[in-house]
Amino acid sequence: MAKAETVIGLVEDTRHKLMQVSTATLTTALFKRGFRNVFLQGLCRLKPGENMVGGAFTLRYIPAREDLDVLASFEDHSHAQRKGVEECPDGAVFVIDSRGDASAASAGCILAARLQARGCRGIVTDGGFRDTPDIAALGMPAFHSRPSAPTNLIKHHAVAINDPIACGGVSVFPGDVMVADNEGVVCIPRHLADDVAGEAAEMTQFEDFVLEMVKEGASIFGLYPPTDPETMTLFSEWKRNRKT
């Protein structure tokens, strides 16, 4: 477990910054570094709330097989879904590769509640959850494509934990930093997390300034991007005023 904890943990300053920035800003910071495919496509959040930040702990499903995926299979403590839930480390985000198939549930409220009790920071699938009103009520960030009542046994065979996976069309390696706001989920390759968090925090400040100017009637020309030298002068001033 200690090993997993290491992979999952984040520098506190990075976590703090990632709690304040939007997924939109993060995708731009990653685009600058050559990454075009970091936003998990087609997912929505069960209930709005604060950002979700944590290292990825993964579960991989393949299609169910009728002889393997029977109710009795849950009795086995090595069943990958149940084992994954009981081993997911404190501070992690539980990310499920459901092959984009929401015709049966990826997980339900009991497993979500157990993950929350273990310190999990959020749960993400590119399939669907069941018991969604109850999961929403838990308060833990949860992202999926649509509600799906049928038991996972009907379509999903839990085959491995902490494999590199696909989720929402994005590759997720165990330990990658998952960040979400009310718009969706971004996967930041682990080695870039500190760097990207720093840049995104700065960009956020500038965008706050720009939005304020625009709401007051400014044209975007020269302001966004700041090709007019005066823009940066105004921004410096704005920052000074804001602090005091």
| Ranges within 118-137 binding a copy of itself (CB under 8 A) | 130-134
Q: Which is nearer to a copy of itself, 39 or 121 (CB)?
A: 39
Q: Is 214 in the site for a copy of itself (CB under 8 A)?
A: yes
Q: Is 139 in the site for a copy of itself (CB under 8 A)?
A: no
Residues 14-53 that bind a copy of itself (CB under 8 A): 22-24, 26-28, 31-32, 34-39, 41-42, 44, 48
CB–CB of 159/61 below 8 Å? yes
Helix, strand, or coil here: 48? coil
CB of 207 to a copy of itself, least distance (A): 7
Query: Which one among 19, 20, 49, 160 touches a copy of itself, defined by CB under 8 A?
Result: 160
DSSP 92-149: EEEEEE-TT--SSEEE-HHHHHHHHHTT--EEEESSEESSHHHHHHH-S-EEESS---
- The residue among 170, 131, 165 whose CA lies nearest residue 147 is 131
Residues 134 and 137: their CA atoms lie apart, in Å, by 5
Q: Which is nearer to a copy of itself, 133 or 237 (CB)?
A: 133
CB of 240 to a copy of itself, least distance (A): 22
CB–CB of 101/157 below 8 Å? no
Query: Which one among 1, 66, 240, 241 touches a copy of itself, defined by CB under 8 A?
Result: 66
CB–CB of 185/23 below 8 Å? yes
Residues 71-100 that bind a copy of itself (CB under 8 A): 71, 74-75, 77, 82, 85-86, 99
CB–CB of 54/121 below 8 Å? yes
Q: Which is nearer to a copy of itself, 12 or 66 (CB)?
A: 66
Query: Which one among 13, 16, 50, 62 touches a copy of itself, defined by CB under 8 A?
Result: 62
